[in-house]
Amino acid sequence: MKQTTLISAKDIKKNWYIVDAEGQTVGRLATQVALLLRGKHKVTFTPHINNGDHVIVINAEKVIFTGKKETDKNYYHHSMHPGGLRRRNVATQRELDSTKILERAIRLMLPKNVQGANQFRALHVVKGTEHQYAAQKPEVYVINTKKGETK
């Protein structure tokens, strides 16, 4: 009879990674960070268990968009009241809060359930290079997301 090993919450080791977003394209960076948050880079990946890692994204304000997305891409919000549709383009959002651009791109790449909400909680996006998570001793995670390049 084949022995199966069950993974429990106490067996999961969560690492801390730091990712520099300077000069990175939003979508390509977001896919790589979402994989880290989900834990798909680990051998022990199981869809119903949250074994993803914590990710700190620095320099969020220096992330780039390709093409004319800076002016043409819009973020929408509706207050659920008549005439309550609000629209904001990327340039305006960058002025108000540049971390929300990356947070939204990453959140939409995670599962739309409780598991995705728990994984999103492990994301920490900051402006600049200073962050408050130095005590966790995060490892630098290098992402090469230039178009046409492979790791």
What digits encode the pLDDT tens for the residues 12-31? 889 999 999 999 999 999 99
This prediction has a pTM of 0.88
Q: Which residue segments constitute the domains of the chain, with CATH numbers given?
A: 14-65+100-140 (3.90.1180.10)
What digits encode the pLDDT tens for the residues 68-120? 999 999 999 999 999 999 999 999 999 999 999 999 999 999 999 999 999 99
Give the integer Cα–Cα distance in Å for 8 and 143: 30
